[in-house]
Amino acid sequence: MTQDELKALVAQAALAYVVPGTVVGVGTGSTVDHFIDALASMKDRIVGAVSSSDRSTERLRARGINVVDASSVERLAVYIDGADEIDHDGNMIKGGGAALTREKIVADLANDFICIADASKLVPVLGKFPLPVEVIPMAATQLARRFQRIGGQPTLRDGVVTDNGCHILDVRGLQITDPLASEIEINQWPGVVTVGIFARHRASVCLLGTSEGVKTMR
């Protein structure tokens, strides 16, 4: 199976976690694009979706799914999203699609984060995938220097302006052995909007696409 077919497989499997009669939290990315397509088959059984990006909002609307403002929802049963890397405890690196801030906001509303990914995203230690960090443009250079001081090699993502009008630093060379501590530390550096470590909002369930089918990791 191709990587795209594996993504479609887990996207379909994620429908089992959607609670009928509720609003669903929806992430961003190519795996989520498949999920949105699958969700359309049950659009009349859900109230709608809270979206984590303009990209997902557009796709949801195109599939006839009601998009609900995050501020009108107190809690979500589930948030369904992809990841760039996942460790065996469900900690993730996210932000490859530059939507990490809104993804974390919507994930924070949800009781459960259901991660959908092809199995190549599973790693023993986070950090091979360059860590995305959304930053206030004014602080980008001083934050890049700060990442260099802890052994990272940051690059500014060329030409990218996020949905929030900010920039993305991609930081290579970090071995994230304590994801929670790193998330808390980096997130309080002045100028950081959101670091792409999802440990406080780690996945409750990971659906991993393999050539033998969907593997569920809890």
The residues annotated with a catalytic role in the active site are 103
What distances in angstroms separate CA 185 from CA 16, 71, 112, 113, 197, one per listed residue?
A: 36, 28, 24, 22, 11
CB of 100 to ligand 5RP, least distance (A): 5
CB of 145 to ligand 5RP, least distance (A): 25
- For residue 94, say whether it is annotated as part of any ligand binding site: yes
φ/ψ of residue 61, rounded to 5: -65, -40
Helix (H, G, I), strand (E, B) or coil at 100: helix
Task: Report which of 47, 41, 52, 110 is spatially closest to residue 83, judged by C-alpha positions.
Answer: 52
- For residue 97, say whether it is annotated as part of any ligand binding site: yes
Q: Which of 25, 48, 90, 97 binds ligand 5RP (CB under 6 A)?
A: 97
Q: Which of 94, 146, 167, 202 binds ligand 5RP (CB under 6 A)?
A: 94
Instruction: Tell me, by CB under 6 A, how many residues bind ligand 5RP.
Output: 17
Nearer CB in complex with ligand 5RP: 79/147: 79
- For residue 82, say whether it is annotated as part of any ligand binding site: yes
CB of 8 to ligand 5RP, least distance (A): 11
Beta strands in the chain (DSSP E): 23-26, 48-51, 76-81, 85-86, 92-93, 110-118, 131-135, 153-156, 167-172, 192-195, 197-198, 205-210, 213-217
Does residue 91 interact with ligand 5RP by CB under 6 A? no
Q: Which residues bind ligand 5RP (CB under 6 A)?
A: 27-31, 81-84, 94-100, 103
